[in-house]
Amino acid sequence: MLQIVADENIPAVGAAFGGLGEVVTCSGRAITAATVRDADVLLVRSVTRVDEALLRGSRVRFVATATIGTDHMDTAYLDAAGIGYASAPGSNADSVADWFVAVVLEVARLRGMRLEGRTLGVIGCGHVGSRVVRRARALGMRVVENDPPLARKTGDPRYRPLDELTAADIISLHTPLTREGPDATHHLIGGLFLGRLQPDAIVINASRGPCLDSAALKAALRAGCLGGAALDVWETEPDIDPELLDSVLIGTPHIAGYSLDGKLRGTE
């Protein structure tokens, strides 16, 4: 019988996978090499780092994460070791887009501003970003989209260079975290970009913390160069910068996609 080790916070994991083997659940942060030594399958969320240190010497032949991203998984090691893996892209996209709507409405209330006619710059127009675009337009906002991979793939002129977003009233990030290649997103938004924004611009990040240079953001907020920021993700989470938390208009603990329907879709 297959042994399946799973993060206890994956909803309905026993019902979903119990027919395939024995499901053993535990805290994702408590999954260690000893935990998975006799496992055939490992099911995780983003809090578990999946790499050689965790899997070396184990029986694990397949790893799945019930999250949209894989930056917590060493996919190069998994490929080299012949271990299959999968993620759940788009599973919580509606949840994150709804979080964006709630945040942007609250920001508008706090700032006494109308959203209709305002310009939103969306960086990353995949599963989440495309939904944010639709919701923003429904609110009467003008949207400028930036997504270099999609621009190359489709040739669609609606995808604009990043520099063209600096005139936007609100910037919202929805990219994966990548550190190499022509479209690397690590510190994609840094001091240079922030310095070119309007002094009352709002920056929103619900993608991955390191896509936004937190030191540069904190400096810009401290200097009064921005109208504010709303963050759901943090560069050093869970050990976030308390000074940055105190500086943002809205701060949430990486829960934008943490709705029950989104988690159930991740399990599926």
Catalytic residues: 208, 237, 254
Contacts of 155 (CB under 8 A, 6+ apart): none
Task: Compute the distance between CA of residue 178 and CA of residue 125 in angstroms, rounded to an integer.
Answer: 15
Single out the residue of 75, 96, 77 nearest to residue 87, CA to CA.
75
> Tokens 């309905």 — which residue?
12
Q: How far is CA 99 from CA 9, 128, 172, 251, in A?
A: 21, 11, 12, 12
Single out the residue of 211, 202, 137, 144 nearest to residue 173, CA to CA.
211
Q: Assess contact for 203 and 194: CB atoms under 8 A.
A: yes
Classify residue 140 by burial, with Cβ atoms within 10 Å: 0-12, 13-18, 19+. Answer: exposed
